[in-house]
Each structure stands twice: as structure tokens, then as C-alpha cells.
Amino acid sequence: MSKKEVLGNVASIETTGFVDGPGIRVIVFMQGCPLRCLYCHNPDIAFFNDEKTLMSPEQIVNKVLRYKSYFGKEGGVTFSGGEPLKQPEFLLETLKLCKLNGINTALDTSGVGENFEELLNYVDTVILDVKAIDNDDYKKLTGLEIDRFNNFLKSVQKKKIDLWIRQVIVPGINDTEENIINLKKFISKLKNVKKVELLPYHDMAKPKYEKLGIEYRLKDTKPMDKVRCNQLQKLLLSDNNEDNTITQTCKVKNKKCNKSTTHAC
Ligand code: SF4
């Protein structure tokens, strides 16, 4: 048991993750989240603070160490959720212990939390879910103001931590080229960005909401078209700036066109 006897409320642990951070990783999903994102696909973890498995930092690190031989140069542990920043004391102790044991650490987060300054000293990569960059859009999506996200990002930048940026793309909400161009400008001002990903919204969590008796607020929204999402990702990563648009087949004349989707050529 750690000196502070701090225990984490852990929803689950996945032992072989390939997408949530560099290399092969153990993913620790923490219970609870202060946000209420319209598209949350883990409402069972995020919207409830009930006790799942209570674990000490030592128990977590001992479990992670069993997989250390698979990590190679890049792999390690990722704390995800829910929102791991909701349990800052536990996170601080666990991250410290990870670093003492030579384990690479990543934090998969919305950036909404408190008391994160010290724990960030033990984080190698922050995987930041950028819900929106405008306060009104952010509030519509998450139910919260954007200020805490902005404060967190400032600290991450100050500490020069490697940054992965993610945004979930939802039809009718943020699947416009205008949004992508604004996101691109936003990212261009950030330092230490190692990866940028757009994730297509899906509705596979609907049955979970039904089972939990929670209203699924995007019931009229279709899953994001993956091809279109890839096009937007290309736009986001392209070298050109504001006036960059996606080449696609024009629905009117069935030919390639360089204008945006909503034009009539
Ligand atoms: S931040 Fe993540 S876990 Fe929390 S409500 Fe939003 S999508 Fe769900």
C-alpha cells in the first residue's frame, strides 16, 4: 500500500492497447468524468462515480510491470477513462511509481481537471481530446465551459510534454471544412504535437444508454462517414492553409472538383 493510502477507482484494465499512445500499452480506464459529451461511448464509466475496483498505485504498477517485456522502446501505460484527471491524487502517486520503475506514461484526457500541475511532471505523452475550440460549441458538446481545458493545455505546453491531438467528428456538428481549418490554425500554434487524429463518430454505444436508462441525445445523428472523415483528416494535415479544400466528385456534374462540399459548380 502506498504511504498516502490513496486508492484509485478503476473501471477496467486492458493489457494490450495499440492506439492510445506510442507502442504497445496497458490501458487503465478510470471511473467517472466531469463532462457529459453528447457522443460519449462509455457512459457506464463516465457518468457514474460508483465504486468499481479499488486499486492502490502499487497494485496498478505491479500489473503493468508484468507486460513490460512487450513494451519495447515506446510502449508503456496509458491512463484513460472516463477522465483520469478526476482522481488526481491517485494518478500522481501511480505516475510517480511508474517512472520509478522505468515505465513510459501517457494520459488520455479531455484536459478537464484540477491539481494536475505536479502529476504532469511524470507524464511522457498527453493524448488530448479537443472537443471544440470555441466556448459555445464546447459547451453544447460537453455541458461545460472551455476554460479548464485551456488551462490544462497551457500547462502541458509549458512543460513541453509530447502531445497527441484528437477530435471526434460528428455529422451536423463539426464535420465542416470550416471547423477543420479552424482546428488546423489552433494546432499550428501548439508545440510538441506528435500526432493528430480525427475519429469518426459512431453510435455503437446506443445499447449501453438503453440499458442504463439514459437518453441517447444523438439518436437522430447518423455515424460519421469514414471516407469523408479521412478526407477531412487529409485537409487537416495538408500543407496549404485557409483556402485549402478537398477534391471530391461533384454530385451535380459527376466530375472532380476543388470546391467545398456545399457548392453548386
Ligand atoms: S470526456 Fe470522454 S469519457 Fe468524459 S463524457 Fe466526454 S467522451 Fe465520455
- Give the per-residue pLDDT at 243: 42
Q: Which residue of 29, 44, 110 sits with most ligand 1 atoms within 8 Å of its CB, as the best mutation to test the pocket?
A: 110
**Residue minimizing CA distance to atom 7 of ligand 1:** 40
Is pLDDT above 50 for 248?
Answer: no
CATH of the domain at 72: 3.20.20.70
pLDDT per position as a tens digit, 203-228: 999 999 999 999 999 999 999 999 99
Whether residue 223 lies inside any domain: the answer is: yes
Ligand 1 touching residue 44 (CB < 6 A): no
Mean residue pLDDT of the chain comes to 91
CA distances to 3, 38, 131, 189, 255 from 143, in Å: 37, 9, 11, 26, 42
Is pLDDT above 70 for 133?
Answer: yes
- CA dihedral of 118, 122, 123, 124, whole degrees rounded to 10: 140
User: Stretch 145-167: mean pLDDT, rounded?
Assistant: 98
CA of 40 to the centre of ligand 1 (A): 5
Assign 3 a pLDDT band (cuts: 50, 70, 90). low
Whether residue 3 lies inside any domain: the answer is: no
Interatomic CA distance for residues 182 and 235, integer angstroms: 11
**Residue minimizing CA distance to atom 3 of ligand 1:** 82
**Residue minimizing CA distance to atom 8 of ligand 1:** 40
**Residue minimizing CA distance to atom 6 of ligand 1:** 37
Q: How many domains does the chain have?
A: 1
Ligand 1 touching residue 33 (CB < 6 A): yes
Map residue 195 onto helix, strand or coil: strand
Is pLDDT above 70 for 242?
Answer: no
- Give the per-residue pLDDT at 186: 98
Is pLDDT above 80 for 200?
Answer: yes
Assign 4 a pLDDT band (cuts: 50, 70, 90). low
Ligand 1 touching residue 42 (CB < 6 A): yes
CA of 130 to the centre of ligand 1 (A): 11
DSSP result, 164-188: EEEEEE-TTTT-SHHHHHHHHHHHH
Whether residue 1 lies inside any domain: the answer is: no
Assign 239 a pLDDT band (cuts: 50, 70, 90). confident
Ligand 1 touching residue 168 (CB < 6 A): no
CA distances to 164, 175, 226 from 230, in Å: 17, 11, 6
Interatomic CA distance for residues 260 and 265, integer angstroms: 10
Of the two residues 239 and 146, the one the predictor is more confident about is 146
Whether residue 231 lies inside any domain: the answer is: yes
Interatomic CA distance for residues 42 and 128, integer angstroms: 17
Whether residue 74 lies inside any domain: the answer is: yes
Interatomic CA distance for residues 174 and 172, integer angstroms: 6
Burial class (CB in 10 A: 0-12, 13-18, 19+), 51: exposed
Assign 240 a pLDDT band (cuts: 50, 70, 90). low
Ligand 1 touching residue 43 (CB < 6 A): no
The lowest-confidence range among 54-63, 123-132, 153-162, 237-246 is: 237-246
Query: Where on the phi/psi map is residue 141: left (φ > 0), alpha (ψ -120 to 50), or beta?
Result: alpha
pLDDT per position as a tens digit, 78-103: 999 999 999 999 999 999 999 999 99
Range of the domain at 218: 8-257
Whether residue 263 lies inside any domain: the answer is: no
Whether residue 2 lies inside any domain: the answer is: no
Query: Where on the phi/psi map is residue 5: left (φ > 0), alpha (ψ -120 to 50), or beta?
Result: left
User: Stretch 227-244: mean pLDDT, rounded?
Assistant: 82
61's grid cell: 504498477
pLDDT per position as a tens digit, 110-121: 999 989 999 999
CA of 132 to the centre of ligand 1 (A): 13
CA of 67 to the centre of ligand 1 (A): 27
Whether residue 36 lies inside any domain: the answer is: yes
Closest CA to 67 of 17, 117, 113: 17
Assign 5 a pLDDT band (cuts: 50, 70, 90). confident
Map residue 217 onto helix, strand or coil: coil
User: Stretch 21-31: mean pLDDT, rounded?
Assistant: 97
- Give the per-residue pLDDT at 234: 97
Q: Which residue of 27, 30, 33 sits with most ligand 1 atoms within 8 Å of its CB, as the best mutation to test the pocket?
A: 33
